[in-house]
Chains A and B, each alone.
Chain A
Amino acid sequence: MTRPIDPKRRRLLAAGAGTALLGVPAFVRSQAATVKIGFPVPLTGAFSAEAQDQVRAAELAVKEWNDAGGWNGAKCELLVRDDKLNPGEAATRTLELIEKDKVNFVVGSLSAATQLSINAVCRDRKIIFNSISQSDTINEAKDWSLYTFHEALNPHMTAGAVARYAFPKFGKKVVYLTADYAYGHEMVRGFQRAGRAFGTETVADIRHPIGTADYSAFLPRIQQAKPDVLVLCNFGRDLVNSAKQATDFGIKQSTKIITPVLLFTSRLAGGPDAFEGVMGGTSYYWAMEDKIASAKAFNDKFRKAYGGAVPSDYGALGYAGIRSVLQAVKNANAVESQPVAIALRQLKYDWYKGPQFYRKCDHQSVQSIIIVESKSKGMKDKNDVFNVLHIEPADEKNLRTCDELGHKVST
């Protein structure tokens, strides 16, 4: 699949490159002509809608940085690759990006498994990788390196925030319907851990293969168990299908359906009926712009660049992931991994959702978590899909401790 190229952007880039060549002395030009960022994301596969939005938002961050003059006349180039949601493919593409295309940094990924394989490749070659999808493992000492950064939320943070909000309100008997891979397992652990404080009881944890289209065979059992809360620990189209079918089976009559990550794109694809009353967490929802100035600024830029469209949650992560790295290049006044990594560690930023920073011990971005509920009536337009119930502010204490993750040095 080819990436749509915005002709306007192309002209701008060409014009930008032209002026850069004219205005910059020859010795600087030969030193660093471009800052290359590899961007492996699953353009094909179940999460393609989210991945395409990540690309759009990442390109926006690149354009913004280039328009502001880049660094020492060097412009940024984004090299988008399709990892097909496959860890092997992701590793191969990343290796190519580093060895053949000579990228300076890697930002991307949209699954727990692909980000770990991308991270392994980058770590061995001392290339900074800023991951924009959820994983707990990537924070842990065995997978971590000085060059590993995690822009996205992780399952522990997301599930924790949703659990802290939902369990006291809706009850103690919990059934999990879980996609059988790292993401699902980590989410269940996150909920169970946060649930302990409220005395929740796991009635069942039903595992389904990733990419299941029909969940009906799992639902009679859940119906019979009559839990207070059904947690759908799955993602993308899996979430759409399982929420829709759980609704058809009348599960909502006696059970509140919650999900760790309720995505804007999933809700658009699933429609209001399937998600009616479903509650979940997200890293970003565009309507936060009423309260948060940086969200408003980011949305406006995105709307202007993409014909009035609003950015999705994962899209916004693509923007932030790139923007952090490019800001660190400027701050460090270098493109080498080590000084840029140090600059990233010192970065305090507010790109789109309020103040954020990377925790020193594991480079997890400490950030706010938004609890939303799907709307089914009174929507103003097609993008008006959630009510924001609560914003849990950024707080290090909602993360697992550095010791727990196995990091010996805690600062």
Chain B
Amino acid sequence: MELTPQLVSLQLVTGVALGAVYALLAIGLSLIFGMLGVVNFAHGALFMVGAFLGMYFLGLTGNFWFSLVLTPLAVGAIGLVIERLLVRPLYGRGIDYPLLLTFGLSWVLIEAMRVAFGIEGIPSSTPPALRGSVDLGVGYFPLYRLFLIGATAAIVTLLWLFIEKTRYGLIIRAGSRDPEIVRVLGIDISRVWLAVFGIGCAIAGLSGVLAAPTRAVNPEMGIPVLAESFVVTVVGGMGSLPGAVVAGLLVGIVFALTSLVAPDLAELSIFVLMALVLLIRPYGLFGKAGYMG
């Protein structure tokens, strides 16, 4: 095989598209962890539920864009219920309580989808407007994956504007630094937590519906995704949103470039990256000490 500049460039674009999904997933995880201190092991399952609901809404409405709006709303609503009924009673206990709860919950969600849609999963298809591949000058690349990169950039920008520029974002930021003071200032912090958990889950659902057209939708599709998004979160730093984005892209690119030269080692490469980052920066690229304590 010849490592031409064209091939390497195309591989880089592939890595960015892969990284876009990783980044989105890690943002949802990081948002919930940074604010609530909850390690959400149901994140992969919510991604999977998002993919199923996305394809279901697509079948129902015949419109991918509707599905793209409806799905995060639905998965976000599931998130609200999970926080209010299941996670909230566990605040103030050790970090492992919600971890075990959400781990169990992920299996409940997987089984629920098996019951609802069958164990084989459902076929997914690319929306007609985004089918086909485009010539990037270095080779052909699927239009849908370009859309994926664009959509992720848009979502990340909106989320950044929301958190940095709005009053609610200010409360969220303040709440993640010092919930006591926020409470003293007369803000009902539990409602903020509820909202943040919902947003985190909605983003997981959104990444599910966005990823669905690129792969088979089945009840187990969230399991490997969970492991990958934890790698990204750890590399970026638990709780850091810029960290999630940078690490997502980094992991995607490392995976893609390793695939090119040593496909057998591609899966391993992202874990090696994680180990290296942790050796040099034990709290991740953008992380702060003390979160896991």
Residues of A at under 8 Å CB distance from B? 45-46, 48-49, 52, 180, 204, 206-209, 211-214, 216-221, 223-225, 237, 240-241, 244-245, 248-250, 265, 268-271, 273-274
Contact = CB atoms under 8 A, between A and B. Distances in A.
Contact of B1 (A180, A225, A240, A250): A225
The DSSP consensus for interface residues of chain A is helix
Given A216-B14, A220-B10, A223-B140, A269 B216 contact: yes
A245 B140 CA distance: 13
A212 B255 CA distance: 12
B176 interface: no
Contacts of B119: 48-49, 52
Interface in B243-265: 255-256, 259-260, 263-264
Nearest to A245: B214
Nearest to B224: A213
Given A207-B264, A244-B216, A249-B140, A217 B256 contact: yes
A269 B264 contact: no
A23 B222 CA distance: 54
B120 A269 contact: yes
A270 B263 contact: no
Interface of B: 1-2, 4, 6-7, 10-11, 14-15, 17-18, 119-126, 132-133, 139-142, 144-145, 214-216, 218, 220-221, 224-225, 255-256, 259-260, 263-264, 266-267
A155 B124 CA distance: 29
A228 to B, nearest CB: 17
Nearest to A269: B120
B120 A217 contact: no
Given A209-B267, A211-B224, A250-B132, A216 B145 contact: yes
A217 B16 CA distance: 10
B18 A214 contact: yes
B6 A214 contact: no
A227 to B, nearest CB: 12
Contact of B126 (A180, A214, A221, A248): A248
Given A217-B11, A220-B10, A248-B142, A204 B1 contact: yes
Nearest to B264: A207
A211 B263 CA distance: 14
Given A45-B220, A225-B1, A268-B123, 11 more contacts: A46-B220, A208-B263, A209-B266, A217-B256, A220-B260, A237-B216, A241-B216, A249-B140, A250-B132, A269-B218, A271-B123
